């Protein structure tokens, strides 16, 4: 029988501390914002257009003085609600011919999805900001020096205020959005509800999402 005292809750393996005003606060003090990014069908572009997009993307990356993370979230498309709507429509249809057509179409969709997984892909860009911090004093001698010149005990403190950190993060967000727009990609920051849903889906892939992220705006 496992020792319950040694069992660690899964929360300790998650770096996320909180989500406030569209900002992810990490346990190590780092800040993150996530952009939902539209997609383009690169293969359908002409060779000249592909070259322009590639060059624009390269130029965008070269202008950055901070790192970005590009993340593609793939999940199996759930069509249960769609099939229920078709069934309701079939029951309400007075024409027998149309009713049969709806029934055949519904069964075709059900059989097709059961044999072929339909994946929905969503594209994200994670914009980070890690505040610079004063390292902890390493020796008793340096601790004594710190006490002489500071009323506070030696500890790891951020060198910038929370407001300055948010301003720096927002500047990076604006730069990332502008660069993606030049490539023809639309990017919008996720709000608290959308971030919570995203992380819930990531850690519970088998669960049915209560609300899908709206990519139409």
End residue of a domain, out of 88, 117, 146: 117
The reported pTM is: 0.66
- At residue 9, the pLDDT reads 56
61/97 same-domain check: no
- Judge if 176 and 191 occupy the same domain: yes
Highest-pLDDT range among 6-10, 69-73, 79-83, 151-155: 69-73
pLDDT at 134: 56
Question: What pLDDT band is residue 161 in, cutting at 50, 70 and 90?
Answer: confident
Gap between the Cα atoms of 75 and 189, Å rounded: 21
Tell whether 178 and 86 lie within a shared domain. no
Quote the pLDDT of residue 29.
85
Interatomic CA distance for residues 74 and 58, integer angstroms:
25
CB atoms within 10 A of CB 177: 19
Residue 154 is assigned to a structural domain of this protein: no
pLDDT of 135 over the 70 cut: no
pLDDT band at 178, cuts 50/70/90?
Answer: very high
141 is a domain residue? no
For 204-215, what is each residue's pLDDT tens digit? 766 644 444 454
DSSP of the chain, one letter per residue? Answer: ---TTTPPPGGGG--EEEEETTEEEETTS-EEEEEEE----GGGS-HHHHHHHHHHHHHHHHT-SS--EEEEEEEEPP-HHHHHHHHHHHHH---HHHHHHHHHHHHHHHHHHHHSPPEEEEEEEEEEE---EEPPP-SHHHHHHHHHH-SSPS--EESS-HHHHHHHHHHHHHHHHHHHHHHT--EEE--HHHHHHHHHHHH-TTSPPSS------
Which domain range does residue 111 map to?
A: 78-117
Q: Could you give the CA distance from residue 29 to residue 134 in angstroms, rounded to a whole number?
A: 13
Residue 73 binned pLDDT confidence (cut-offs 50, 70, 90) = confident
Instruction: Please give the pLDDT value at position 23.
Output: 92
Number of folded domains in the chain? 2
Cβ–Cβ < 8 Å for 110, 83:
yes
């Amino acid at each position: 029988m496992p020792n319950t005292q040694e069992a660690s809750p899964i929360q300790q393996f998650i770096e996320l501390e909180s989500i406030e005003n569209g900002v992810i606060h990490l346990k190590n003090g780092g800040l993150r914002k996530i952009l939902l990014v539209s997609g383009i069908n690169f293969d359908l572009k002409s060779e000249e257009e592909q070259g322009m997009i590639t060059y624009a993307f390269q130029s965008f990356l070269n202008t950055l003085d901070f790192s970005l993370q590009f993340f593609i979230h793939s999940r199996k498309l759930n069509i249960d609600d769609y099939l229920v709507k078709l069934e309701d429509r079939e029951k309400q249809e007075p024409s027998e011919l149309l009713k049969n057509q709806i029934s055949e179409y519904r069964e075709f969709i059900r059989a097709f999805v059961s044999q072929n997984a339909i994946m929905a892909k969503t594209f994200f860009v994670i914009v980070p900001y890690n505040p610079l911090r004063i390292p902890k004093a390493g020796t008793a001698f340096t601790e004594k020096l710190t006490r002489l010149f500071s009323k506070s005990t030696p500890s790891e403190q951020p060198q910038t205020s929370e407001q300055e950190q948010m301003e720096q993060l927002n500047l990076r967000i604006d730069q990332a959005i502008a660069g993606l727009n030049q490539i023809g990609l639309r990017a919008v920051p996720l709000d608290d509800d959308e971030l919570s849903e995203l992380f819930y889906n990531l850690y519970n892939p088998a669960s049915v999402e209560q609300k899908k992220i709206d990519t139409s705006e």
